[in-house]
Structure 1
Amino acid sequence: MTRKTTAHMFYTLNGVAEHADRWQFDSFGPDEMQSMAEMTTATTDLVLGRTLWQEWSGFWPGAQDPFAEWVNPVRKHVLTSTLAGELPWNSTIVAGDPAEYLEQLRQQPGGDIAIAGGVETTRRLVLAGLVDELTLTIHPVITGEGRRLFDDSVPTTRIRLLSSTHTQAGNIIATYALRSDDAAA
């Protein structure tokens, strides 16, 4: 049985998914926290890019927070071509092709696998057909700068809405099925 792979991005109305730290904290409330808690409950492995791993590994190990209680012990798989050797914080370097690595990880025992940051990492794995569900927390903000998750190079692709909710903070949390076998159902 293949493990479920999910990705969650904070998103603006004009599709920007980069630098969420600049615009999402003023509209992050209990509904958003509940959504994150639901995602983390089933997740045992986290795939993330080097930049996000370096940011998080410098902050979360000493934090006292519900997210820290989950992220500190979870297994982390770091996509990098610049880091080498043993990594701290329950982390493993992903050597070689990230899509191949994720496909092998999906075949191993465990809970869900979450893809976290950044834009390029998530886009690459979505386009490789390895992400089952994509959750977008769409914030009521337009920003003039930042990379978009899906740019003009992405072919037209039909996906299926699995669920959506409007939050007290004014966001929309929408979860989509991405894999063709899930999206066609």
Structure 2
Amino acid sequence: MRKITLFIASSLDGYIARQSGEVDWLFTDQDYGYTEFFAQIDTVVMGSKTYQQLLGFGEYPYKGKKGFVFSKTIENETDENVTFVRSNWQEFINTLRQASGPDIWLVGGAQIIYYFLQHGFIDELILSIHPIILGDGIPLIVKDPNLEISLELKTVKTYDSGLLQASYDLKRKPTNII
């Protein structure tokens, strides 16, 4: 079965973007393991807000990878970069995981991360924690008192910039599967 990895960055206080969606605070001075990780996957999955934000950055950054955008509102089935998944998300993800090929990257954002956590679809979390406190923004994890998932620490890397990157395996699947 293909592994789904959430490879993402957050502020020290747990935000993945400002409320506006801006990520201008992210470090771009080094690779931080991105190139090596990107070479190990052939599929990217994301929510529609993340996809729309990526299009605003200029050229689509994941060309050459299969891309899927989970959205209940976008009417298209495909565009030049991705296929849109509008329904039967659990079935689609299970089928995708069973297909042959390298691992899958869950790019973001917060709502699709929450959905994947709720349903036990994330196998690995690689979190790059930037040494900045934003005070407000879009949280990495949507608050839900019923969402409790144990993680097993695999590695921790530190960088001269102050960035800390922790890799975890999800030890058990969530108990509130919907």
Structure number having the greater helix percentage:
1
Checking the alignment, whether the CA contact within 8 Å between 2:12 and 2:129 is kept in structure 1 is yes
**What is the aligned partner in structure 1 of residue 172 from structure 2?**
180
Q: Would you say 1:123 and 2:114 are equivalent positions?
A: yes
- Classify the secondary structure of the residue corresponding to 1:17: strand
**What is the aligned partner in structure 1 of residue 176 from structure 2?**
none
Checking the alignment, whether the CA contact within 8 Å between 1:134 and 1:175 is kept in structure 2 is yes
d(CA) in 2 for partners of 1:61 and 1:93? Answer: 19
**What is the aligned partner in structure 2 of residue 65 from structure 1?**
none
Q: Would you say 1:158 and 2:150 are equivalent positions?
A: yes
* Alpha-carbon distance, 1:165 to partner: 0.2
- Classify the secondary structure of the residue corresponding to 1:180: coil
**Residue correspondence of structure 1 range 74-153 to structure 2 within 5 A:** 74-150=65-141, 151-153=143-145
Deviates more, 1:153-162 or 1:122-131: 153-162
Checking the alignment, whether the CA contact within 8 Å between 2:44 and 2:66 is kept in structure 1 is yes
Q: Would you say 1:38 and 2:36 are equivalent positions?
A: yes
Does the C-alpha gap of structure 1 residues 87 and 131 become closer, same or farther in structure 2, counting only changes over 3 Å?
A: same
**What is the aligned partner in structure 2 of residue 50 from structure 1?**
48
* Alpha-carbon distance, 1:179 to partner: 4.5
What CA deviation, in whole Å up to 9, does each residue of 1:16-66 have, x standing for no partner? 223361321xx3332xx141112111111110111121222354537xxxx
AA aligned to 2:104 is I
Checking the alignment, whether the CA contact within 8 Å between 1:139 and 1:171 is kept in structure 2 is yes
Match of 2:163 among 150, 171, 177: 171
Checking the alignment, whether the CA contact within 8 Å between 2:73 and 2:86 is kept in structure 1 is no
Structure number having the greater strand percentage:
2
Structure 2 unaligned runs (5+)? 174-178
Structure 1 unaligned runs (5+)? 63-67
**What is the aligned partner in structure 2 of residue 14 from structure 1?**
13
- The alignment yields a C-alpha RMSD, in angstroms, of 2.0
**What is the aligned partner in structure 2 of residue 29 from structure 1?**
29
AA aligned to 1:56 is L
- Classify the secondary structure of the residue corresponding to 2:116: helix
Does the C-alpha gap of structure 1 residues 144 and 58 become closer, same or farther in structure 2, counting only changes over 3 Å?
A: closer
AA aligned to 1:54 is Q
Identity %: 27
